[in-house]
Structures are given as structure tokens and as C-alpha cells.
């Protein structure tokens, strides 16, 4: 196991954002949900920093649950780990008999473990089977997407999820190559992307395969559609005074989180009312000015923190029934 996988991104800032909600006195122990458990780095810190807290950890990856279970074992029944995708949060809480929670944390994107395990096919830097499923028990892998999707659909995915300007050029090459032999491994795809891009496009923005791999991963795991459901559901599950912190790693995720938070923090009253009735008042208060970035020191210590964007919000009012 490499050490990089043990460094949770923007850890102290996440703890500081959630602290007021997790330290507030109340009749029951505060509950915090780590919606993206991974290897349990953020969860371990939450359990250590807030001794009265009960933690619910969700992950769709069974291997992550096994490893984080070992890590969090010293905390006994304070930690409940569940095999679930994070848009299933309402069902998980209902099953556990928890009406509302005091804190929710999302650390989006691909986990360090998935990047470090070569055979999962997430990393473009090493040759591996093109899988990319976060939950290897369900769904289709990246190779099947590449080999079976119509060209127009592949172009749409690369543009929408990878923000890839050269999508058409790359897809033409993929379609030509898959007719000769179906794709199975990442090295062939990386090489094909390199060969199909103009020189100028190769000079900027790191590995030229990065955007295509991101797009395939988002498609295989349905990440954006899951997130579209998950963030509003998480806001809904917060008690008044509860706080949510979300770490995103690309602009598509961050934009989605920003929209949900902004909508919650806005009044829904028709324009021109002299007094805004309670039911139109904002439900959320924003806790970050825009998205906060990791410090230079943190990026120097943990390069995977570089693209991180952190947003936080607090629930200030119940829904009107």
C-alpha cells in the first residue's frame, strides 16, 4: 500500500466546517455521514476529533468497505459501514431509524485505493484491464462502453464528462480501431489518444488521456446523475443547524454542488413582496465564499489534492410541509 492513499484531502478544513454541528449539545449523540468512505481517512479523523459522534459510512466499493472496516474497528459500534451508493442515503437512514443527521461529508471522484490498484483500470499511467467500475459486482465496464456505444454517444460523453475539445477526433480513432480488435486494456487506448491528437493539444494540461479516462469513469459509474440526486437528498437529511461539506475534483461536480447550495440559500418568494413569508425563506446558509482550494503546502505534500474544491453549507430552516 502506498502512503499517498492515506492522506485525506483538506482534512482539517473539513473538520472545522463540520465541527459546530457535531459539537452542539443535544439529547442524542450527533450523527455524521461520510458518503464516500473510501479508505476511511476522513471518517477516522471525524471519530477521533468528535468523541460523542456516531458515524455512518457509505461506499459502493466492497474492497474499500473491507479496508476501512479494519481501520475503523477500534471505534466499535460508533461506526456503521454500509455497502451503498451515496444517492441511497435516504433509504440507508430510514433503515437505520435515523430521521435527521448533524453532518454530511462528500469526497467525490475516484478514491486513492482505486487509482493505486492497477487492475481496476482507473489510472492511465499503467496498463490494466479497462474496467473503472467502483462497484465491481454490477454494471458494465469501460471496455464495453468503448466497444459498443455508437460514435455519437461516445462524442457526447467525452465532451460532456471530460470537457474534451478533440472528442470527435478521438472517437473516430476509437471506432476505426475497435473494428479491427475490441478494446480491453488501457495502454492501447492511451496510445491511440496520443496518436490522434494534434501536437498543440498534447502540449497542455498533463496526460492527453486524462479527460477521456475521466469521461469514461463518470459514464461507467453514473457519477453525475447519482450526484444530482445525492446532494439534494443529503441537504434534505440535515437537521436544522446541521452542516454539509463537499469536496469536488472537476468543474462538472463543483458546478452541480454550487447550484444545489445556491438554490437552497436563495429566497423562493415571488418578487416584490414587502415581507418574505417564512415558507419562502432560504433553507441553507453558505459557509464558504465560492469554492475553497487546498493550500500550496497541502498540494506539495499530496499531489492528489491539487484539483480539489471545497464547499460547505448549513441547514438553517426546516422544509415547509
The binding site for S-adenosyl-L-methionine consists of 40-42, 59, 86, 107, 114
Q: Which three cell numbers stand for residue 306?
A: 491539487
Which 3-state string (H, E, C) describes the chain? Answer: CCHHHHCCCCHHHHHHHHHHHHHCCCCCCCEEEECCCCCCHHHHHHHHHCCCCEEEEEECCHHHHHHHHHHHHHHHHHEEEEECCHHHHHHHHHHHCCCCEEEEEEECCCCHHHHHCHHHCCCCCCCCECCCCCCCCCCCCHHHHHHHCCHHHHHHHHHHHHCCCCHHHHHHHHHHHHHHCCCCEHHHHHHHHHHHCCHHHHCCCCCCCHHHHHHHHHHHHCHHHHHHHHHHHHHHHEEEEEEEEEEECCHHHHHHHHHHHHHHCCCCCCCCCCCCCHHHCCCEEECCCCCECCCHHHHHHCHHHCCCEEEEEEECCCCCC
Amino acid at each position: 500500500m502506498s502512503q499517498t492513499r492515506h492522506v485525506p484531502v483538506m482534512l482539517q478544513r473539513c473538520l472545522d466546517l463540520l465541527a459546530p454541528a457535531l459539537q452542539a449539545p443535544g439529547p442524542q449523540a450527533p450523527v455524521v455521514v461520510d458518503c464516500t468512505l473510501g479508505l476511511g481517512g476522513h471518517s477516522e479523523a471525524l471519530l477521533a476529533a468528535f468523541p460523542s459522534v456516531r458515524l455512518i459510512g457509505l461506499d459502493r466499493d466492497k474492497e474499500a468497505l473491507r479496508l476501512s472496516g479494519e481501520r475503523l474497528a477500534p471505534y466499535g459500534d460508533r461506526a456503521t459501514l454500509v455497502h451503498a451508493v451515496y444517492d441511497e442515503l435516504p433509504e440507508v437512514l430510514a433503515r437505520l431509524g435515523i430521521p435527521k443527521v448533524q453532518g454530511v461529508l462528500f469526497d467525490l471522484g475516484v478514491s486513492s485505493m482505486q487509482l493505486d490498484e492497477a487492475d481496476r483500470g482507473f489510472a492511465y499511467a499503467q496498463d490494466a484491464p479497462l474496467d473503472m467500475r467502483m462497484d465491481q459486482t454490477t454494471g458494465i465496464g469501460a471496455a464495453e462502453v468503448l466497444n459498443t456505444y455508437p460514435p455519437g454517444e461516445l462524442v457526447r460523453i467525452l465532451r460532456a464528462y471530460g470537457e474534451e475539445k478533440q472528442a470527435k477526433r478521438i472517437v473516430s480513432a476509437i471506432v476505426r480501431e475497435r473494428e479491427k480488435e475490441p478494446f480491453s486494456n488501457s495502454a492501447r487506448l492511451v496510445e491511440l489518444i496520443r496518436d490522434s491528437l494534434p501536437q498543440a493539444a498534447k502540449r497542455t494540461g498533463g496526460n492527453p488521456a486524462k479527460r477521456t479516462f475521466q469521461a469514461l469513469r463518470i459514464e461507467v459509474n453514473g457519477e453525475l446523475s447519482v450526484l444530482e440526486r445525492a446532494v439534494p437528498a443529503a441537504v434534505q437529511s440535515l437537521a436544522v443547524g446541521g452542516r454539509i461539506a463537499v469536496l469536488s475534483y472537476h468543474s462538472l461536480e463543483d458546478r452541480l454542488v454550487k447550484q444545489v447550495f445556491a438554490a437552497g440559500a436563495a429566497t423562493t418568494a415571488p418578487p416584490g413582496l414587502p415581507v418574505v413569508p417564512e415558507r419562502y425563506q432560504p433553507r441553507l446558509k453558505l459557509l464558504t465564499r465560492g469554492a475553497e482550494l487546498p493550500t500550496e503546502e497541502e498540494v506539495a505534500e499530496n499531489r492528489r489534492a491539487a484539483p480539489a474544491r471545497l464547499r460547505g453549507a448549513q441547514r438553517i430552516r426546516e422544509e415547509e410541509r
